[in-house]
Amino acid sequence: MADWSSVPPFGIYVHVPFCAARCGYCDFNTYTASELAGSGASPDGWLAAVRQELDLAVRTVGRRPVDTVFVGGGTPSLIGAGRLGEVLAAVRDAFGLAPGAEVTTESNPESTSPEFFAELAAAGFTRVSLGMQSAAPHVLRVLERRHTPGRAVAAAREARAAGIGHVNLDLIYATPGETDDDLRASLDAVLDAGVDHVSAYSLIVEDGTALARRVARGELPAPDDDVAAARYELIDDRLTAAGFDWYEVSNWASSPGAVCRHNIGYWRDGDWWGLGPGAHSHLAGVRWWNVKHPARYAALLGEGESPEADRELLTGAERHTERVMLQLRLASGLPLALLDGPGAAAATRAADDGLLDPPALAAGRAVLTRRGRLLADRVVQQLVAAASV
């Protein structure tokens, strides 16, 4: 058997491009049934095409055991546990799973049930990530979410009861109209659900979304940066007090074994193949991405062609910028050895400004302080700009 211990971890991402309805803030590559009507795209057509892309992937990469699988979306739970199990079986047949592989699927609370989670566990899924966003009904309404506040917590409990070892809840904070007390109630609900992982994202007003149009019309105020910063601190305080540690700026885990290894692969310059419409892939410095529309994606594969839309070979400077940008977001930080003289000097200045942790710096790593986490993009810019002067 080949020895894979010396190569970087290998992940498979599978993009499910279907949602029951589009949430007002979301610009992900996903389609509702009415948007797909007449295009010929369907969950079964998608599954057949993903199998064809998997064949292409094995022919390209060779049989290489997969360390992590992440089925994301869109709404994977919408296509049912049967199809999700078939996708995983196809990945297993094509590449094989490494011992102890992490296998995650995202799910929307309203399209899950105890039976759904039992089927997932039987198929080999080890982790479920649920979009909760908030426990406040008026915040869910602004976000145009369809589930009731309690459904996400109930779904997380059902997943654990079904034997899914790791469960995440996603929160969105600083939504217009959210109060500190709303966020406290959301955090209480998350902790009450007994999950081992929490992702919390500040609401981004993405161009072209219904939310952006409402903000432009003055129907809703734009999220406020100072409010978002205060809410981030509230989240970090509450989760830390409950025994969670941040391991990436927007992610907290209750133990080292609860971190999402698949996402760590993205942040640490790992290799992954993204299957499905619009999915991005990265192998040894080459990046490519698929055509976005599910009908076009299936048609290309049906004709025996690659679904790739375009690719780029990162230059040394681009790879360096990406490494700084991604690794600095991790609690493990960035080895100072990756920075040149001006970059290291900028890191010292950032530590003097309270943005990087001085003891970590003395030990050879750039690790964000909490203030630094709030200003992570600025610190990245400082380190990269200094290094490229």
Ligand X SMILES: C[S@@+](CC[C@H](N)C(=O)[O-])C[C@H]1O[C@@H](n2cnc3c(N)ncnc32)[C@H](O)[C@@H]1O
Contact positions vs ligand SF4 (CB under 6 A): 19, 22-23, 26, 28, 30, 73-75, 108, 131
Q: How far is the CB of 322 from ligand X (least distance, A)?
A: 21
Q: Parallel, antiparallel, or unpaired for β 127-133 and 308-313?
A: unpaired
Q: How far is the CB of 311 from ligand X (least distance, A)?
A: 24
Cβ closest to ligand SF4, residue 143 vs residue 374? 143
* Residue 204 touches which member of ligand X, ligand SF4, none, C-beta under 5-8 Å by kind: ligand X
Cβ closest to ligand X, residue 45 vs residue 73? 73
Using CA atoms, how far apart are residues 371 and 229, in angstroms rounded to an integer? 9
Q: Cβ(133)–Cβ(172) under 8 Å?
A: yes
Using CA atoms, how far apart are residues 132 and 365, in angstroms rounded to an integer? 34
Secondary structure of 65-101 in HEC code, one letter for each residue: CEEEEEEEECCHHHHHHHHHHHHHHHHHHHHCEEEEE
Q: How far is the CB of 195 from ligand X (least distance, A)?
A: 14
**Residue nearest ligand X (C-beta atom):** 131
Q: How far is the CB of 34 from ligand SF4 (least distance, A)?
A: 14
Cβ closest to ligand X, residue 183 vs residue 203? 203
Cβ closest to ligand X, residue 65 vs residue 80? 80
Q: Calculate the CA dihedral of residues 297, 301, 303, 309 and round it to 10 degrees.
A: 50
* Residue 22 touches which member of ligand SF4, ligand X, none, C-beta under 5-8 Å by kind: ligand SF4
Q: How far is the CB of 108 from ligand X (least distance, A)?
A: 4
Helix or strand run (H / E) with residue 233:
helix 225-241
Cβ closest to ligand SF4, residue 75 vs residue 290? 75
Q: How far is the CB of 70 from ligand SF4 (least distance, A)?
A: 14
Q: How far is the CB of 85 from ligand X (least distance, A)?
A: 18
Q: Cβ(115)–Cβ(84) under 8 Å?
A: no
* Residue 357 touches which member of ligand X, ligand SF4, none, C-beta under 5-8 Å by kind: none
Cβ closest to ligand X, residue 126 vs residue 209? 209
* Residue 203 touches which member of ligand SF4, ligand X, none, C-beta under 5-8 Å by kind: ligand X
Q: Cβ(183)–Cβ(191) under 8 Å?
A: no
| Backbone region of residue 124 per phi and psi (left: phi > 0; alpha: psi in -120 to 50; beta: other values) | left
Cβ closest to ligand SF4, residue 210 vs residue 222? 210
Please provide the DSSP assignment of 282-345 as one string: EETTEEEEE-S-HHHHHHHHHTT---EEEEEEPPHHHHHHHHHHHHTTBTT-EEGGGS-HHHHH
Cβ closest to ligand SF4, residue 131 vs residue 333? 131
* Residue 102 touches which member of ligand SF4, ligand X, none, C-beta under 5-8 Å by kind: none
Nearest to 141 by CA among 210, 238, 234, 218: 210
* Residue 206 touches which member of ligand X, ligand SF4, none, C-beta under 5-8 Å by kind: ligand X
Using CA atoms, how far apart are residues 197 and 258, in angstroms rounded to an integer? 6
Interface residue list for ligand X (CB under 6 A): 25-26, 28, 72-73, 75, 106, 108, 131, 133, 170, 172, 201, 203-204, 206
**Residue nearest ligand SF4 (C-beta atom):** 26
For residue 265, what is the DSSP state? Answer: H
Q: SS3 for 368?
A: strand
Q: How far is the CB of 367 from ligand X (least distance, A)?
A: 25
